Each structure stands twice: as structure tokens, then as C-alpha cells.
Amino acid sequence: MSNLLSLSSVAKKIWMSLMGLFLFTFLLVHLSLNLTMITSPDSGLFNEAAHFMGTNPFIQVFQWVLFAGFIVHIILGLILQVQNWMARPNAYKKKASSEQSFFSKYMIHTAVVIFVFLIIHFLNFFLVAKGLIGEIGEVTIDGVTMEDMAGLVFDLFANPAYVVFYIIALLFLGFHLDHGIQSAFQSLGLNHPKYTPCIKNAGRLLAIVITLGYVLIPLVIYFTK
């Protein structure tokens, strides 16, 4: 912790951007697996994938790496934000919007929504799947008995309140990523007269695709299952 506190401003940004991009690649993998829930007929593929992720030793180790990635990103983000507030103790009475990246103004706000979402998401699925809280059914696929993860998800998204909450939270994730993806490249020093405009567009496109992809899941489940 004190090591993180003593990092220079630039070092903090480099770590934040690396962890942010790492979390972003996780989001892609997570999304592609989750989509099997609504693409494969009886969600058997999803259950098998979830079973694989829940038992494979490499994934079990990697889970902790991912967890550490979140922690580093969050702690550095909080330190950075508090320092930034301290750097201007007296606010302007009148301030125009000079920012060229709209959601850059709201990174801490979108982050707080994502953080609350993460906790609820853990309580909904991860901790249940680990058998720590709640109950989860079982299914047998090709002679292997495993947790019915898909059933758990379907039960949750039968509740419209959860559907709405997930969609709102995912939109905020999209806002975070809209600024975040291109920002991470800039923080890493990857700025180029020709490629930077492409990175900005691709970042926005990816933020939209990821958000839409995730939003689709509770919607499709609510209306079709």
C-alpha cells in the first residue's frame, strides 16, 4: 500500500493503464463465454465452459491474478483521484468544458457504479458458484455432473429489477471504457499522428460492442427463457 502511495504520477498511470487493458481483455473473454448462454440451444455449452473455468487449475490460479489486477487498478484510481481533488482545493465558480474526451470528466463516478456492480455481481454468481452462499442446482452433461450456472443466471434475470440494474451498470462500464481504452494507449506513450485517431475510434467501437454484447444477455434471457 505504501509502495503504491509513493509511485510517481506517471508510474501510477502506466500501472493503471496496464491493469485497465488487462481487465479489458478479461471482459472480452468473459463476454464470449457468456454469449454461449443465449446462443447454444439449452445452454449446455455455457455450463460446460463454466465447469471448465471452475475446475481448471490454470484458471484457478489466473483468477487470483485477475483479482489482483482489479485491486491494483482500484487502489491506484482512488489515490490518483484524491490527489487530483487536493490539487485544486478552491473550485472555479464558473467553468467551461474544455475536456476533449467527454467521459474523462466522470471516470471516478462511472468507476463507483462499476465497483458497486462488481460486489453485487459477486454475490449473485461467483460466491454462489463457489458454494459459499445460496444454492445452485446441478445438471449432468455427457455423464459429468456439474453446477447449473445457466439455471442460476436464468433465475436471476427472471426478475426485471435485476435486468434493469445490470443494464444500467453495464452502460456505465461502457462509459468508463469509452474514455479508458484510448486513454490507456496515451498513458503508455502510444501516441502517433496517424494511428491515434484510429485508436480513439476503435476504442469507442469496442466500448459499444462490449456493452451491447453484455446488455443482450439479461434482455434475451428475460424475454425468451
Question: In terms of CB distance, is 13 or 51 closer to ligand HEM?
Answer: 13
Which residue matches cell numbers 458497486?
A: 116
Of 7-15, 34-42, 67-75, 133-141, the window that binds other proteins (rule: CB under 8 A) is 7-15
Closest approach of ligand HEM to the CB of residue 176, in Å: 5
Q: Give dist(CA 113, CA 124) in Å, integer.
A: 16
Q: Which of residues 108-167 bind other proteins (CB under 8 A)?
A: none
Q: Please, which residues have CB within 8 angstroms of residue 167's CB and are 6 or more apart in sequence?
A: 215, 218, 219
Residue 187 touching ligand HEM (CB under 6 A): yes
Residues 6+ apart with CB under 8 A from 137: 147, 148, 151, 152
Per-residue binding letters, 156-195, with other proteins (x by CB under 8 A)? -----------------------x--xx--xxxxxxxx--
Among 49, 77, 166, 217, binds ligand HEM (CB under 6 A): 77
CA distances from residue 9 to 22, 70, 100, 103 in whole angstroms, order as listed: 20, 19, 21, 21
- What's the length of the chain? 225
> 214: buried, middle or exposed (CB in 10 Å: 19+, 13-18, 0-12)?
buried
Residue type, 146: M
Under the binding rule (CB under 6 A), the answer on residue 80 touching ligand HEM is yes
Instruction: State the Cα–Cα distance between residues 103 and 110, nearest whole angstrom.
Output: 9
How many Cα atoms within 13 Å fall on the side-chain side of residue 104? 11
Tell which one of 11, 68, 198, 208 touches other proteins (CB under 8 A): 11
Nearer to ligand HEM, 158 or 190 (CB): 190
C-beta closer to other proteins: residue 34 or 187: 187
By CB under 6 A, is residue 174 in contact with ligand HEM? no
The whole-angstrom separation of Cα 67 and Cα 70 is: 5
Choose between 23 and 38: whose C-beta lies nearer to ligand HEM.
23
The contact set with ligand HEM (CB under 6 A) reads 13, 16-17, 20-21, 23-24, 27, 73-74, 77, 80-81, 107-108, 111-112, 114-115, 118, 176, 180-181, 183-184, 187
The contact set with other proteins (CB under 8 A) reads 8-14, 80, 83-84, 86-96, 98-101, 104-105, 107, 179, 182-183, 186-193, 196
